[in-house]
Structure 1
């Protein structure tokens, strides 16, 4: 007997905040991903194949307004210290990745932690490299603030959106004392 795949409706909308485009993606349950301009407003094919092999896209700004994401992102990029914890999330990743990503949600606005400190905070003190790798796969930058995680040497170390963007986000939160001595190839 052939099993039919359930088609998942994926909503999207592009906002221009912080002088760049951010494409928001959601299911009916919550926010699933935020794409940078560098992602060219598309979802990674391998990610879709794994988590939504049968899907359809719908442009819909309303669902993001309903979730509160639009207003919170606009406030954040206007320099307001806000929390994104009220936005419903529908995280697609391994259980370990989801554990790391939810650990990111606990880093307050204007604070930074090291990868080691993040690993300890989620009860995985020996998994620093795995935590870094999961951090690099974070589907919800800004909302789950992976930009607030730095190397133990006090440098940025890397960011999927580029070190310049990581510095801009930290500066927006009043953090200006972190050096950019990291290397772009480290996508933690």
Structure 2
């Protein structure tokens, strides 16, 4: 596994890739957060990720696509993903989210539960969103409450607002 920290409009992001594909995206990846996340990934996947050398084949394309997304030039990520950090219902929900909720749109927790054949599982969808190892690429920021509220977000509600504003769902902040 290799990692790289990249700057973004929502703060530093930690991108981690395996030979299979992008496996993890971590928000607010300042050194302390980054070290904690890398340790946890090492424990879960059996080896500690190493910092990618410049021009790493594993991370060049993810870094390019993230830059294009934040520049407003990319609406759909086209990356190989390593789904090994999720399974079962959570994986099913995240895959539906990745393929079925396009840029600039939102979906309710209950509606997403219905799409995977579990119409009463809105809270379980919330748990799946909270465990999403690939935020932004698997766009959990696009999942909102049915009454119009933002709902929760592992990266913080301000980060969710910024991502939805970038995609034109919410107005850009005045300040």
Does TM, normalized by the shorter one, top 0.5? yes
Spell out structure 1 runs of 4+ moving beyond 3 A: 44-49
Normalising by structure 2, report the TM-score: 0.85
Greater RCO (Cα-Cα under 8 Å, separation 6 or more): 2
CA distance in 1, matches of 2:63, 2:4: 10
Q: Which of 84, 87, 91 is the matching residue for 2:79?
A: 87
Q: What is residue 76 of structure 1 aligned with on the other side?
A: 69
45 and 123 in structure 1: CA distance in 2 versus 1, 3 angstrom threshold: farther
127 and 48 in structure 1: CA distance in 2 versus 1, 3 angstrom threshold: farther
Unaligned runs of 5+ in 2: none
Q: What is residue 153 of structure 1 aligned with on the other side?
A: 147
Rg comparison, structure with higher value: 1
Which moves more between the two structures, 166-175 or 87-96?
87-96
Give the conservation status (yes or no) of the 8 Å contact 2:38–2:49.
no
Unaligned runs of 5+ in 1: 1-9, 178-188
Normalising by structure 1, report the TM-score: 0.80
The aligned length equals 163
Q: Which of 34, 39, 56 is the matching residue for 2:48?
A: 56
Give the conservation status (yes or no) of the 8 Å contact 2:16–2:49.
no
How many Å apart are 1:38 and its aligned residue? Answer: 5.9
TM alignment of 1:80-159, pairs within 5 A: 80-84=73-77, 86-91=78-83, 92-105=85-98, 106-159=100-153
Q: 3-state DSSP class of the match of 1:32?
A: strand
CA distance in 2, matches of 1:122, 1:87: 23
Structure that is richer in strand per residue: 1
57 and 47 in structure 1: CA distance in 2 versus 1, 3 angstrom threshold: closer
